[in-house]
Amino acid sequence: MSIFERFTEGWKKYRKPGYYREFDYHWAMTIDLDKCTGCEACVTACKAENNLPIVGEEEFAKGREVQWIRIERYWEGEYPNVKLGFIPMLCQHCDAAPCETVCPVSATYHNQDGLNTQIYNRCIGTRSCAVYCPFEVRYFNFNDHHWDSPLDQQLNPDVTVREKGVMEKCTFCIQRIRQAKDDAKDDGRRRVRDGEVQPACVQSCPSNALVFGDRKDPDSQVAKSMKDPRAYRVLEELNTDPSVVYLKKVDAKG
Amino acid sequence: MPKIERREFLKLVGAGSVGVGAGFMLRETIKHPPEYLIPHVVAPEDFSTGIATWYNTVCSMCSAGCGISVRTREGRAKKIEGNPNHPVSQGKLCGLGQSGLQVLYNPDRLTGPLQRMSARGGETFEQITWNEGLSRVADRLDLLRAAGRGNRICLLSQGVGGHLAQLFELFMAELGSERLLHYDYDHPHTLYAANRQFFGEEHLPYYDLKNTRYLLSFGADYLGNWISPVHHSLGFGHSRQGRPDIRGRFVQIEPRMSMSGAAADEWIAAKPGTEGVLALGLAHHLITQGYYQGADLDAWRQALRDYTTTQVAEQTGVATTTITRLANTFARSQSSLAIGGGIAANHSNGVDTLVAVNALNYLVGNLGKEGGLLFNPEPAGSVSHPRQASFRTMLKLAKDAREGNIEVLILNGTNPAFTMPAAAGFTEALSEIPLIVSLSSFMDETTALADIILPSHTYLESWGDDFPEPGVGFPTGAVSQPVVSPLYNTRATGDIILTLAQHSGLSDAIPWNSMEDCLKDGWREIYERADEETRTESFEVFWRSMLKAGVWGEKSQRDQTFTLAEGVIDNIGVAPPEFSGSPDDYPFVLHPYISNSFHDGRGANLPWMQELPDTMTSVVYGSWVELNPVTAEGLGLKEGDLVDIESPHGRVRAPVYVYPAIMPDVVAMPIGQGHSTYGRYAKDRGVNPIEILSAQMEPHTGSLASSATRVKIVATGKRVELIKTGGTSRDLGREIVQRFDPTAQSKTGGAHSTQLNSIPITTVTT
């Protein structure tokens, strides 16, 4: 390929909005609210997998907790006709993410797999991204965190421990994705098979409410699940184009 | 060397510079922009992630017996996940199970044997060696055994299964003691008793949630903490959206909405303790509407004559239309299933209530049927149920202790000083026992009273096995193996018992040197039971393959026919529940519920669980009391107001949480907090509602009627800020949690326009 061709090719590929859609993967998740029981197994799995800090009672009271995935709960109606809806809320990996455009140092960017990614050592802690994020899923490290010994021994060696002044958030367990890609390469395959990589939350979900996969692969479970007539995205009107799709809770009558 | 003019030299330098500049710019343009942005995050080519070693073992955080896989790196446990091969957990695991890592790496673990240096009540302990500790205990055991007073030794363990339980049996029998008790606060005594009464079954049946179409749950929080929550969640997910064109429907009947109530399609509040009456009301409707046509129809008609829809509606507070609707749907949706437990069973009429629930299943033919209730085969190696100590048995133990009939108490992992009501006087009775030995890994409330502490390994460091109860329809079991080498100078419970046996000269009857040998001998029997054809070539091959898979199972189905036990129909009937305290002085019924994070309090020392927002309220780090919004307004209370919850037996102080889904005359409190010791994360945090419960019992089983205490709420005028996540608990028109109406014609997804977006997320089909 001539330099000129490479140049035009590269230009086309990378200068187009949504360029990442041309790459091999476009990771996405569906969450079936009809299956979600609010048990928070996903929350604990995330804490374990991603070395989330234990902030302590005082910091928690100031709203400085870190939960890359959390369960939100919304009551509807009044007693006795009252309902409670759970919704797991995590970084939506928006394809038109407001957090990315606001970062003054490009610490958060869209990678070629469609992931919204945070570069910890570039982050200077302006917290603008957290302000811009409509889903409130970005968490700031107000302190250096400490694990009472020997709790530090449980830390996952594949994931860095973030320090004070750094923003962090869900990565779709990028370390697991990387591992799966490596394994596929070792296997002589170009692509990761569907179901080969699961973030910790998806892996742990006892009612199988969460589905993760490559939405570019039309045969993947997640791509099929996204076609469900119950599919919707939270705060769709903001047009951030999230990669997390929810399936509505079925309201059975009688 | 050719001579270069100054002018030419400058030209060359200029041209060179332009060339370099242009080349540089071209290169920069061709270069992938991501290389610009992400030099630090894309791992270098030669970077390879480490390889983890996974060990399969069994979770011991509750009694469900989920199989787990533990990920280790460089000899450290890093993560616990469900074992995909195990039929109970199928690769999934609840939050508490995943926090097992923090049991292993808890900074407050006991690191070696201790002996008491002060009077009971103080916490001054001195380190001793294992030999000193073991021989002190063994000497005393010897003395008692030789004097024929072996029965004055009591072994009080948490519920354990498998070969450790059998070792306990053997050990205590050899010592000449009958006093071997397993004690768990939430052991479903009433469920066992009801099933024995109704079908003559000694083991819990399998509730086939996966294939059910309509589930009526009477108080059983099956998704939160009732007998096997992870397995139930798997079934729930499948029942909901796992089958094409069939969506299972769920109805939850309980006075305070639990997690299962929130997941249900319909939540119905019946007056506390009348769940059984409601079940019989449904049964009455089934009989009168001709849904049941068995030979014993007349007997049923006779037995249920006092449970007409109007009478039941009056007693339970549930509308007649609701009763008939539930009964009709229950009979028409095949398969349907009724389950009962939890709060419905924690009343003075608990067993009768659960028998009534069984009757519902019987009348519509759900027994022994897919999607209904399936009978389990005898577990391959389980502890007999009568060893499970009920509240009454514990009171008897306390009485024996006060009368000086207990000389040695060996505690294994159970914490009755925390999970017994203060009214039972259990803690005071313990102080009458001359020697208390604790094998706990933590300084819990009961261990703090011990004279000698011989700390055991955590379950992630020990050998053991488990045969899940309730089973999964076929014989299955799993071996738990150490996943890391022991962190501290502790020993496995089994090994401590074996060493004590050796010290006491019991080696003839208890020949093993280690728990691992004991386990292998036990499993050799199971291996030899299999027929020649399906068996692997040697036991070693079998053993290794089982350690690798983490589970063993046999393909066999149990005959599902059954006969109704004698006299069941005549005895059917649910008496009104009895409460302690008069309604005038104590207007509210206290509903203490098992917390998903802390279980019966055992999880309170795990920082992840402390920091995990409560499922229903999102509160962390503390206790609260849940009041109906109308009740709270009537009392002039708002969220965070500190109140005293006062029963005839004591009082605790907690902040108010205004809970939209609780009956106006019921107040609820989570169990788990309120530890006076048990490590830095648990100590002096919140309150323990068990403390103020009355010592009321269910008469058939002697189990604690924990929902039968009345309380009053006294405002203190003080306030605290409840620590919780999120702001408003209402959606406020943001349409965050959207609901789908299956009957609606238009099937477009999303409340907002999908045209705006570059990728349409739904396909429009009409």
Q: Do B240 and A34 touch (CB under 8 A)?
A: yes
Q: How near does any CA of chain B get to the CA of A83, in Å? A: 7
DSSP B580: B
Number of other residues whose CB lies within 10 A of the CB of residue B398 = 21
Q: Do B77 and A18 touch (CB under 8 A)?
A: no
Mean pLDDT of chain B: 90
Number of other residues whose CB lies within 10 A of the CB of residue B334 = 16
Q: Does B256 have pLDDT greater than 60? A: yes
Residue in B240, B461, B488 to test binding to A, most A beta-carbons within 10 Å? B240
Spatial neighbors of B362 by CB under 8 A, at least 6 apart, are B198, B564
Q: Do A35 and B630 touch (CB under 8 A)?
A: no
Residues of B in contact with A234 (CB under 8 A): 736
Q: Is A74 helix (H, G, I), strand (E, B) or coil?
A: strand
**Bridge partner residues of B251 (DSSP):** B216, B266
Q: Does B473 have pLDDT greater than 90? A: no
Nearest by Cα to B344 from B221, B233, B248, B464: B221
pLDDT at B47: 65
Which chain B residue shows the shortest CA-CA distance from A232? Answer: B750
Q: Do B725 and A70 touch (CB under 8 A)?
A: yes
How far apart are the C-alpha atoms of B353 and B190, rounded to whole Å? 9
Which chain B residue shows the shortest CA-CA distance from A179? Answer: B49
Query: How large is the C-alpha radius of gyration of chain B?
Result: 31
Residues of B in contact with A84 (CB under 8 A): 257, 262, 616, 660-661
**For residues A110-149, b (16+ Cβ closer than 10 Å) or e, as one string?**
bbbbbbbbbbbebbeebebbbebbbbebbbbbbeebebee
How far apart are the C-alpha atoms of B491 and B477, rounded to whole Å? 24
Would you say domain B189-374 falls under CATH 3.90.78.10? no
Domain borders along chain B are: 53-104, 114-182+384-466+476-526, 189-374, 588-719
Q: Do B761 and A233 touch (CB under 8 A)?
A: yes
Q: How many CA atoms lie within 13 A of B760 on its CB side?
A: 11
Residues of A in contact with B26 (CB under 8 A): 3, 7
Instruction: Write out the H or E segment, with its range, that includes residue B324.
Output: helix B320-332
**CATH classification number, B114-182+384-466+476-526, choose in 3.90.1150.10, 3.30.1370.60, 1.10.3720.10, 3.40.50.740:** 3.40.50.740
pLDDT tens-digit profile of A176-223?
Answer: 998 999 899 889 998 999 999 999 999 999 999 999 999 999 999 999
Q: Do B621 and A60 touch (CB under 8 A)?
A: yes
Q: Quote the distance between the C-alpha of residue B430 and its chain's center.
A: 27
pLDDT at B377: 87
**Bridge partner residues of A210 (DSSP):** A31
Q: Which amino acid is at A4?
A: F
Rounded mean pLDDT, A100-108:
92
Rounded mean pLDDT, B171-191:
94
pLDDT at A16: 65
Band of pLDDT at residue B24, cut at 50, 70 and 90: confident
Q: Does B31 have pLDDT greater than 80? A: no
pLDDT tens-digit profile of A8-32?
Answer: 776 666 666 666 666 789 999 999 9
Whether the Cβ atoms of residue B603 and residue B100 lie closer than 8 Å to each other: no
Q: Does B45 have pLDDT greater than 70? A: no
Rounded mean pLDDT, B296-310:
94
- Nearest CB to A39; choose among B95, B726, B754: B95
Q: Do A54 and B607 touch (CB under 8 A)?
A: yes
**CATH classification number, B588-719, choose in 3.30.360.10, 3.30.1360.120, 2.40.40.20, 3.40.605.10:** 2.40.40.20
pLDDT tens-digit profile of B478-534?
Answer: 999 999 999 999 999 999 999 999 988 888 899 999 999 999 999 998 898 887 777
Whether the Cβ atoms of residue A122 and residue B38 lie closer than 8 Å to each other: no
Residue in B626, B734, B738, B746 to test binding to A, most A beta-carbons within 10 Å? B738
- Nearest CB to B596; choose among A39, A65, A229: A39
Which chain B residue shows the shortest CA-CA distance from A149? Answer: B107
Q: Do A231 and B762 touch (CB under 8 A)?
A: yes
Residues of B in contact with A87 (CB under 8 A): 736-737
Q: Does B747 have pLDDT greater than 80? A: no
Q: How near does any CA of chain A get to the CA of B434, in Å? A: 35
- Nearest CB to B234; choose among A148, A207, A249: A207
Q: How near does any CA of chain B get to the CA of A200, in Å? A: 9
Which chain B residue shows the shortest CA-CA distance from A73? Answer: B729
Nearest by Cα to B668 from B342, B392, B403, B419: B342
Give the fold, CATH level 3, of B53-104: N-terminal domain of TfIIb (2.20.25)
pLDDT tens-digit profile of A121-158?
Answer: 889 999 999 999 999 999 999 999 999 999 999 999 99
SS3 for A149-208 is CCHHHHCCCCCCCCCCCCEECCCCCHHHHHHHHHHHHHCCCCCCCCCCCCCHHHHHCCCC
- Nearest CB to A37; choose among B236, B269, B758: B236
DSSP string, B448-476: GG-SEE-PBPPGGGS-EEE--SS--SS-E
Query: How large is the C-alpha radius of gyration of chain A?
Result: 19
Nearest by Cα to A141 from A114, A172, A164: A164
Rounded mean pLDDT, B73-102:
95
| Beta strands B588-594; B476-480: pairing state | unpaired
Distance from the first to the final alpha carbon of chain B: 87
Q: Do A148 and B263 touch (CB under 8 A)?
A: no
Q: How near does any CA of chain B get to the CA of A108, in Å? A: 9
Nearest by Cα to B377 from B474, B477, B486, B263: B474
Rounded mean pLDDT, A70-97:
94
Rounded mean pLDDT, B193-208:
91
Spatial neighbors of A15 by CB under 8 A, at least 6 apart, are none
Q: Do A241 and B758 touch (CB under 8 A)?
A: yes
Joined tokens for residue B117: 């240096």
